[in-house]
Amino acid sequence: MQTYPKSQHQLSREQFSPASRAIIQQLSDHGYEAYVVGGAIRDLLLGKKPKDFDVVTSATPEQIKAVFRRRCRLIGRRFRLAHVYIDRDLIEVATFRSSSGNDAAASGGDRLIRNGQIIRDNVYGSIDQDAVRRDFTANALYFDPAGETILDFVNGYEDINKRLLSLIGEPAERFREDPVRMLRAVRFAVKLDLQLDAPCAAAIAPNAHCLANVAPARLFDELIKIFHSGYAESAFELMQKHGLFAQLFPHTAQAIAERPEYETLYRTAFANTDERIAASKPVTPVFLFAVLLWPRAEQLFCQHLQNGLPEFDAMNLAATTVFEEQRDSIFVPRVIQAGIRHIWTLQLRFMRNRGKRVFSTLAHPRFRAAYDFLLLRQITQPELAELTSWWTEIQEVPPEKKREMIFGSAEKGKRRRRRRKKPADS
Ligand code: ATP
Ligand code: MG
């Protein structure tokens, strides 16, 4: 183990949230060891603002509960930990864990591994055991606010200084026991501008298929984290490079392979997302997944049209099938599905830019997202250019001009008469 005293690093206790320091103080008053661990130390050493301050301790969840009582709630089954509330802050307090199977048997702990994959991880251990069961060396540093020292069991401090992301232990094994680590590698690399070290990088493609074993809801959450990290375009590149994108979005990857315009479409979509985040504008998984799942939807839509279905039915059926297919790989929550369906069916409404339906299209809650989506589709379908500029213009012109664009100035009278006659004819 390496200990870095205050004189050897640039961190100070004031950089850590008061709540995390108070919790650590209280735990150590009760005779337990306690530290800030993981992401916060990594981010501070890299000069970034930490998202949160996680605490780890030698106290078991029940002992943590006994210290903080009403301010503490125990949560999680797969990974049991304590939520401790101090003032308005919530701090996650976990217990040192061991990953050794022998310890699990010896301590009667609760660790379940199925086909090499961790299902439950609740065997407690010592701090050095806790360090080595973490994912990356950069994520396994401990900070003691009282002494202002950094504890390092895995050479994480040097890796951070070299801006390297290295897995602790044997990469293939660590990726198999939790395949989400491959996506975490991508996210940390792009977000923190770290290089994947060679063994870690080399182990991704051969193990990418293991992502099929991950709980579909967890995969959805992790992908949102990646694509809404502010670095989606680089993440997309890195995921493609290491075979993760094709594993997760096979139809989309195939469309990209067949037509390079799709690559441009996705790059543009991700670059736009990154720009929005940089400008603190809202982003939504609805738009993101509408774009990511589009090639498959488009394919099914065309098939249904050829089989003679009316276009709205064809699109709705395509959407239903896409969501069914996703259920066992990346689970898209129902509310998000509904939004995606709207974005896709609005594409059909855009094809009709005459008549009063245009007003309801413009007023649709998903209009803006659907219009942005139309702009993107233009990249793969240049024939949409004229229609797209029409929808751009209609949003910008004053009301009288809008009516003229929608009904046509000369046409207006004729159309009305024709409509009125209809019922009389039939
Ligand atoms: P951020 O919160 O900025 O995304 P983080 O490093 O804090 O980054 P968390 O997901 O909050 O990430 O996890 C906290 C810590 O728990 C990590 O730093 C790491 O040490 C450990 N950890 C999280 N997920 C895993 C995993 N899948 N395998 C092993 N260790 C993990
Ligand atoms: Mg965190």
Question: How far is the CA of 189 from the CAs of 115, 202, 208, 263, 342, in angstroms?
Answer: 28, 15, 17, 21, 34
Ligand 1 binding pocket (C-beta < 6 A) is 38-39, 51, 54, 134-135, 139-140, 178, 180-181
Regions of the chain where pLDDT drops below 50:
103-108, 412-422, 424-426
Residue of minimum CA distance from atom 28 in ligand 1: 135
What are the phi and psi torsion angles at 75 (to 5°)?
-130, 170
- Residue 118 has a pLDDT of 75
The catalytically annotated residue of 52, 103, 144, 372 is 52
Atom of ligand 1 nearest to the CA of 191: 3
- Residue 324 has a pLDDT of 96
Q: Are 208 and 247 in contact (CB under 8 A)?
A: yes
Q: In 390-426, which positions are buried (b, 16+ CB within 10 angstroms) versus exposed (e)?
A: ebeebeeeeeeebbebbbeeeeeeeeeeeeeeeeeee
Atom of ligand 1 nearest to the CA of 181: 27
Compute the C-alpha angle 305/334/343, nearest 5°.
Answer: 45
- Residue 356 has a pLDDT of 87
Residue 197 DSSP one-character state? P
Pocket test for ligand 1, best of 37, 54, 130, 188 (most atoms within 8 A of CB): 54
The catalytically annotated residue of 43, 54, 152, 178 is 54
Ligand nearest to the CA of 50: 1
> What is the domain partition of the chain in residue ranges?
1-162, 249-409
Domain 1-162: assigned CATH number: 3.30.460.10
The catalytically annotated residue of 43, 121, 130, 135 is 135
- Residue 110 has a pLDDT of 74
Residue 225 burial class via C-beta count within 10 angstroms: exposed 0-12, middle 13-18, buried 19 and up: middle
pLDDT in tens, 79-128: 899 999 999 999 999 999 988 655 444 444 677 777 777 777 778 999 99
> pTM of the full predicted structure?
0.91
- Residue 24 has a pLDDT of 98
Query: How many angstroms does the Cα of residue 65 sit away from the middle of ligand 1?
Result: 22
DSSP string of 78-103, one letter each residue? SS-EEEEEETTEEEEEEE-B---HHH
Query: How many angstroms does the Cα of residue 56 sit away from the middle of ligand 1?
Result: 12
pLDDT in tens, 379-391: 999 999 999 999 9
Query: How many angstroms does the Cα of residue 37 sit away from the middle of ligand 1?
Result: 9
- Residue 101 has a pLDDT of 55
- Residue 78 has a pLDDT of 80
> Other C-beta atoms within 10 Å of 268: how many?
16
Residue of minimum CA distance from atom 30 in ligand 1: 134
What is the arrangement of strands in the sheet containing 2-4, beginning at the earlier edge strand? 2-4, 149-152, 141-144, 34-37, 54-57, 89-95, 81-86, 72-75
Query: How many angstroms does the Cα of residue 386 sit away from the middle of ligand 2?
Result: 47
Helices 285-292/367-380 angle, 10° precision: 30
- Residue 426 has a pLDDT of 38
Domain 249-409: assigned CATH number: 1.10.3090.10
Residue 385 burial class via C-beta count within 10 angstroms: exposed 0-12, middle 13-18, buried 19 and up: exposed
Residue of minimum CA distance from atom 26 in ligand 1: 135
**Residue 140, helix vs strand vs coil:** coil
Pocket test for ligand 1, best of 122, 139, 213 (most atoms within 8 A of CB): 139
Residue of minimum CA distance from atom 21 in ligand 1: 134
Ligand nearest to the CA of 37: 1
Does 128 participate in catalysis according to the annotation?
A: no
Cα 61 from Cα 73, distance rounded (Å): 9
- Residue 109 has a pLDDT of 65
Residue of minimum CA distance from atom 12 in ligand 1: 39
Q: Are 94 and 137 in contact (CB under 8 A)?
A: no
Does 135 participate in catalysis according to the annotation?
A: yes
- Residue 121 has a pLDDT of 75
Does 52 participate in catalysis according to the annotation?
A: yes
